[in-house]
Structure 1
Amino acid sequence: MNDALVVLEDRDACEDLLREAAMYAKGADRDLVLYSPLTTEEFEEAASTLDEIGRVENREYNDDEILGVAFTFARELASDALEDMDVEWSIVADVVEERTANHIVDVAEEHDCDHVFTLGSQRSPTGKAVFGDRTQRLILNFPGYVTTKMN
């Protein structure tokens, strides 16, 4: 059985994306893999915040606890968006330099997903040509289905 990967980034837009993915998963009898990546910058920001909390609590937080920020984000989002849906889901979190299409493809393949749900962003054709477009590269490079919700 192949599952569906849902790339979580923006809380508000991802709730709708999760609901769409859940409807697909329920109809296709699939599970969802919720992918919650932190960029290096976001990881360092969370580490700094937890450092300040740790000073007050007189304790140190390790990297796994810092990565827990990504797990917590995904868990809270899924609890809100999927509470009335009868769908199994799991969370994958990691730290990446940047969220690239190739990395998303790797995660999807690693978790046996044949469908990816992701957010897209509106760009002009010139913007796509100059800066590239992650969603476009994902659609071109992923060997399965890609569903994009425009953010």
Structure 2
Amino acid sequence: MRDALVVMEDREGCAALLREAAAYAAGAGTELVLYSPLTGEEYEEAIETLDEIGRIENRDYSDEEALGVARQFAERMATETLDGDVAWSVVADVNEELEARHVIEAAESRDCDHVFTLGRRRSPTGKAVFGDETQRLILNFEGYVTVKVE
């Protein structure tokens, strides 16, 4: 079995999704890859905050350290939610929007054959008019996809 990727979003249901993925990983003997993306806007906010802190501390922070915001979120969530039975690692990324193609690229580059993600309840009309990234993920990923609908 290959590893499983968990899309870590800062919204309700993420802890439950992580517990579900951990149960799968423990049973399958795999590791979890916690994919923690920042939008371009969140990344810029992190850089601005670090710049302000850097001016106070008389220190320069790198752009890479701005990704630490995404890593810290995933690490905190994993530490609070998971016990020591499941091995995990964090991958942080910056994307303009959380799109299925970014999730698929992250999963494939880390040899994951299962993706866990949160979904949103939408009407059939809403899906037809606006599309649905979760649906794109299910249709285009070459592995298993578990969706927890909030």
Q: Residue 24 of structure 2 aligns to a residue in which SS?
A: helix
Matching of residue 66 in structure 1 with residue 66 in structure 2? yes
Which residue identity is paired with 1:114? Answer: D
Aligned equivalents of 1:143, 1:45: Cα separation in 2: 34
Structure 2, gaps ≥5 residues long: none
Q: Distance in 1 between matches of 2:84 and 2:16?
A: 13
Structure 2 counterparts to residues 1-151 of structure 1, below 5 A: 1-82=1-82, 84-151=83-150
Shift of 1:10: 2.2
Paired residues in the alignment total 150
Runs of 5+ consecutive residues of structure 1 not aligned to the other structure: none
Task: Give the deviation of 1:98 after TM superposition.
Answer: 1.2
The SS at the match of 1:30 is coil
- State the distance in 1 between where 2:10 and 2:149 align: 11
Distance in 1 (CA, whole Å) between partners of 2:13 and 2:144 is: 20
- What CA RMSD, in Å, does the superposition of the two structures yield over aligned residues? 1.1
Q: Distance in 2 between matches of 1:150 and 1:51?
A: 37
Superposed CA deviations along residues 70-113 of structure 1, whole A, max 9, x for unmatched, are 1111110100010x250000111111121111111111111010
- The offset of 1:129, in angstroms, is 1.1
Q: CA deviation at 1:58?
A: 1.6
Q: What amino acid is the match of 1:99?
A: L
What's the CA shift for 1:20?
A: 0.2
In 2, the alpha carbon distance for the partners of 1:85 and 1:136 equals: 33
Q: How many angstroms apart in 2 are the aligned matches of 1:65 and 1:86?
A: 29
User: How far apart are the structure 2 equivalents of 1:149 and 1:53?
Assistant: 37
Consecutive aligned runs of 4 or more in structure 1 exceeding 4 Å deviation: none
- Is 1:17–1:117's contact at 8 Å kept on the other side of the alignment? yes
TM-score normalised by length of structure 2: 0.95
Q: Which amino acid aligns with 1:130?
A: V
Percent of pairs with identical residues: 68
Provide the rounded CA distance (Å) in 2 between the counterparts of 1:110 and 1:10: 23
Distance in 1 separating the partners of 2:111 and 2:57: 41
After superposition, what is the alpha-carbon deviation per residue over 1:88-142, rounded to whole angstroms, capped at 9, x for unaligned? 0011111112111111111111101010000001111111111110101100001
